[in-house]
Structure 1
Amino acid sequence: MAPSYDKTIATAASLAASLMLVRSLANELLPSELRDALSSALASLRSRMTWQHTIVIKEIEGWCRNCVYDAVNAYLATRTSASLSMQRLRVSSAGESEKMVVSMEAGEEMADVYQGAEFKWCLVTREVKGDSDSVGDGAHEVRSYEVSFHKRHKEKALKEYLPFIVAAAKAINHQERSLDIYMNEHGNEWSSIVLQHPSTFDTLAMDMKQKRAIVDDLDRFTKRKDYYRRIGKAWKRGYLLYGPPGTGKSSLIAAIANHLRFDIYDLELTGVDSNSDLRKLLVGMTNRSILVVEDIDCTIELKQREEDDEEHSKSNSAAKKKAEDKVTLSGLLNFVDGLWSTSGEERIIIFTTNYKERLDPALLRPGRMDMHIHMGYCTTEAFRILANNYHSVDYHATYPEIEALIQEVTVTPAEVAEVLMRNDDTDVALHDLVKLLELKKKEATEIKTESKQAEEQKDGTEKINTESKQAEEKKDGDEIKTESVQVEEKKDDNEVVLKNELTENGSG
């Protein structure tokens, strides 16, 4: 068998060389019309002789991430560890307790058999240079999978094998896939790490009624694909989390991600140069994902559209072009509730802020932020959840005192959690919490007393100022009255003198 195979290969190589020679001679000796006909015939012959076909699956298509690439990546990860043909493998782990994930290294090949047909996979990478204006050198890596197979399996590859991979990857992701958190870098690109935040709705320190309302809303949202299509709205949901720092906004976001099994895209607006880059980032998100913009009131200045139009009308053309390059409120709203909001499905959009009153009303109207969730100070119910999380206790002798103090003072869940984490001894930790709450109560009383004294002092000062003003006004009134009397007396004296003079003149 081997000599016959070698003979076949040698014959094919000889024939290919002969075809190349014929092509070279034809280019020099034959007219263009005949050359075109010969070239077409040679291409047809080469196509018939080539048995291997290849399908290229790129990671990014245009601005969007290729879902088929992600499916192939997940599917091959389950096949790579069993393949002994590859000399170089890539191994990663989400954490010390997580199982290792074996995947392909660039340039390596792996064979997979589906219904008797062999498919050879290869991971191809190449570096693309970015724009000179981008942050850093702008260079980034472009990845793609290439699958090669016999041409007689082409229809099977497209209609059966690839759909099988997509379905298998969906099942794998639902059961085993770790969640990722993405961050934006280089202007309009995402990079990711594994999300290992353990927060869940069971461990979240929040009022149970409020928690139940959020979970019910999320579950209802994920089941309403046909409903959103029927009413003609983008399949998305917006949440605004507002409240003081340390009230659990980030923990709630992680709990939502873990509950839905959605990846998180943490958008840092200060790292985006223009509305165009913002669109590329947002379109590049996958379906079933969460877009998070934290501290939206202070991460970037988002002016109202009316203000933008007024400034544009007053500025020159150069200033207009510079302003157009910046991220604007309109650019963000076009994705949240405009035409660009339909670029993906089953997405959650979350804005967080410590100061809701500072936000532009355009961000808050229904249809953009559908649910406003107030993250308040620690309640007695939230305290019991934290105590159970950190010390696995449902009740302790200090509970009545602690709960009474929590109702009198303002303390964040983060402050309570920090005290409970200081000591593994439950008694010590809870007594330390009592001390913290008593200190806060004392400080609040002192502040209230100082405020009352300042108010009383202010009232006393105002009273003195009022009395002084009244005395001054009375003094001014007396002086005016005295002057009036003097003027009247002088007037009377002048009349008497004048009368006397007239009398004397008359008698004379």
Structure 2
Amino acid sequence: MGVWAFSQSILQVVFPPEIRFAILKIIHRICNWFSAYCYYDITEIDGVNTNELYNAVQLYLSSYACVTGNRLSLTRGLNSSSITFGLSNNDSLIDAFNGVKVHWEHVVTPRNSQTFSWRPLPEEKRGFLLRAKKKDKSVVLGAYLDFVMEKANEIRRKNQDRLLYTNSRGGSLDSRGHPWESVPFKHPSTFETLAMDPQKKAEIMADLLDFANGESFYQRTGRAWKRGYLLYGPPGTGKSSMIAAMANFLGYDIYDLELTEVHTNSELRKLLMKTSSKSIIVIEDIDCSINLTNRKNNSSSSSSSSYNVSPPGSGGVGSNSEDGGGNTITLSGLLNFTDGLWSCCGSERIFVFTTNHIEKLDPALLRSGRMDMHIHMSYSSFAALKILLKNYLGYSEDDVEKELLDQLEQVMWRAEMTPADISEVLIKNRRNKDKAVWELLEALKTRAERNDNKSNNNNAGKSKKNNTIEDEEQVKRALLVESPKEGGGDELQEKCDKEKGHEVNDDEKVL
């Protein structure tokens, strides 16, 4: 031991720390020249900021760790409905991508000293060490890391609950600088449970998938990655359920925009800027929230294409000043919100407007590029009725008597009942399923008879009106015939004779 300690002291004198560091550096470089692998460090904290790539790798490896790993780390994040698996400290696994094998290792070491920082750093230094062959360097740094980020985003959206945002404070910001408030969105509506014609549902689902997978298409054509849907139809036809089904189908958050809480166009732009990508921006009952009438029917409209709108009952169109009281959003501001330059400040957004009266909306708001797909939410069809029977009673088409089904199909189109009306009948009688179907048939017949009587009354009213007009014309002709008998009738008789004479002359000319 004494000889070893003496030799160590001699080496430290002959080879000072600077020389030893230089020798080790040269040896390390020589080893790298002959090594077939290259190494990449992905640390948890980059300076004072969190490294997003570290979080993405952690999520991506969680899908493989639960299958191949022997020692796992289990976590559950905020607003998450599932448990995430991850690599334990200093554990490793092998991944493959397009024939390229890479080695991941989760490296955790204690932090030596706490340096000065604006925020406290964790006691442990965490990171991932990625090892790959040098010949695969371009694939790993390019396509592979992009694939890791994309998969991590999918896992994050899948594990995280949908959020429903609202602008209860108008366009003003809270203490964190956000104008939106959010709550977890747990609406159970899906396209499978939506009472709608199956063919129409298939068209909508295909359109949504084309949009979600169309990033390269929108970039190639130079269009903003957004799409607009207009849902219109009578109340109770499932417009809100359709929005929830779209959000659950794509995994998007929902921003429920209340226009009556927004006072200026600038506030509307701020709200749009604070929305995230992969989201659905909804304005429900747009014809009721603001006075947005057709410009063709507005006799007092000016030549300007941008006019103000105000809440219903405020007395019509407001002033052009945004500093005045009341709601001073302009039509131009709303159009720019959906299709202007500010509408493309994010990506993968869907705009959904709902209305019960499409004829009240301005044509400029309905054109393609703003509302690309118009979806008519009509009364329940027979196909929609079968979906409702399956949802509420668990009945398939074979579980109901054929004669009863035929009666339901015959009366369905005449009844004009919404899915909400039919659902209420089924819910009240769901404990007795057979009774529920018969009660539904009676309700449909009652509604059909009422509609038939109403139609007959309307036809009778039109016939009576036509008869009244004919009676008035007959009275006028009778007065013209009786008028020569009264005083001054000679002049009228002479006028009639002259007209007859002209008619005779005209006939002679024709002959």
Aligned to 2:48: 55
Q: TM-score, normalised by structure 2?
A: 0.63
The residue matched to 1:378 in structure 2 has which SS? coil
Could you list the structure 1 runs, at least 4 aligned residues long, displaced by more than 4 angstroms after superposition.
Answer: 90-94, 98-101, 149-156, 163-169, 303-312, 315-321, 480-487
1:274-423 alignment runs, 5 A limit: 274-302=264-292, 321-322=323-324, 326-395=328-397, 396-397=400-401, 398-423=404-429
Amino acid corresponding to residue 265 of structure 1 in structure 2? Y
Aligned to 1:243: 233
Amino acid corresponding to residue 202 of structure 2 in structure 1? R
Aligned to 2:108: 116
Alignment deviations for residues 173-217 of structure 1 (CA, whole Å, 9 cap, x no partner): 233211111111212211111111111111111111111111111
C-alpha deviation, 1:336, in angstroms: 1.2
Q: 1:447 to 1:340 in 2, by over 3 A?
A: same
Q: TM-score, normalised by structure 1?
A: 0.64
- Going by fraction, where is helix more abundant, 1 or 2? 1
Q: Is the CA contact (8 Å cut-off) linking 1:238 and 1:367 kept in structure 2?
A: yes
Aligned to 1:491: none
C-alpha deviation, 1:406, in angstroms: 0.2
Task: Name the CA distance, whole Å, in 2 between partners of 1:186 and 1:316.
Answer: 21
Amino acid corresponding to residue 376 of structure 1 in structure 2? S
Comparing 173-182 with 238-247, greater Cα deviation is found at 173-182
C-alpha deviation, 1:231, in angstroms: 1.4
Q: Is the CA contact (8 Å cut-off) linking 1:423 and 1:429 kept in structure 2?
A: yes
Aligned to 2:170: 187
C-alpha deviation, 1:117, in angstroms: 4.7
Between the two proteins, the alignment pairs up a number of residues equal to 378
Q: Is the CA contact (8 Å cut-off) linking 2:232 and 2:355 kept in structure 1?
A: yes
Aligned to 1:459: 466
Q: Is the CA contact (8 Å cut-off) linking 2:191 and 2:245 kept in structure 1?
A: yes
Aligned to 1:490: none
Q: Does 1:175 align with 2:167?
A: no
CA RMSD across the alignment = 4.5
C-alpha deviation, 1:484, in angstroms: 5.0
Q: Is the CA contact (8 Å cut-off) linking 1:93 and 1:100 kept in structure 2?
A: no
The residue matched to 2:180 in structure 1 has which SS? strand
Amino acid corresponding to residue 445 of structure 1 in structure 2? D
Task: Name the CA distance, whole Å, in 1 between partners of 2:268 and 2:394.
Answer: 45
The residue matched to 2:450 in structure 1 has which SS? helix
Aligned to 2:497: none
Comparing 420-429 with 316-325, greater Cα deviation is found at 316-325
Unaligned runs of 5+ in 1: 1-51, 58-66, 76-81, 85-89, 102-111, 120-144, 488-508
Task: Name the CA distance, whole Å, in 1 between partners of 2:318 and 2:226.
Answer: 39
Residue among 228, 248, 260 paired with 1:270: 260
Task: Name the CA distance, whole Å, in 2 between partners of 1:316 and 1:204.
Answer: 40
Fraction of identical pairs, as percent:
39
Q: Is the CA contact (8 Å cut-off) linking 1:262 and 1:289 kept in structure 2?
A: yes
Unaligned runs of 5+ in 2: 1-44, 61-72, 91-105, 112-117, 130-140, 172-178, 296-300, 309-316, 495-511
C-alpha deviation, 1:265, in angstroms: 0.6
C-alpha deviation, 1:431, in angstroms: 0.8
Aligned to 1:148: 121
Task: Name the CA distance, whole Å, in 2 between partners of 1:302 and 1:464.
Answer: 43
The residue matched to 1:332 in structure 2 has which SS? helix
C-alpha deviation, 1:412, in angstroms: 0.9
Alignment deviations for residues 288-307 of structure 1 (CA, whole Å, 9 cap, x no partner): 01011111112112466956
The residue matched to 1:322 in structure 2 has which SS? coil
Q: Is the CA contact (8 Å cut-off) linking 2:108 and 2:127 kept in structure 1?
A: no
Q: Does 1:221 align with 2:211?
A: yes
Q: 1:273 to 1:175 in 2, by over 3 A?
A: same
Aligned to 1:210: 200
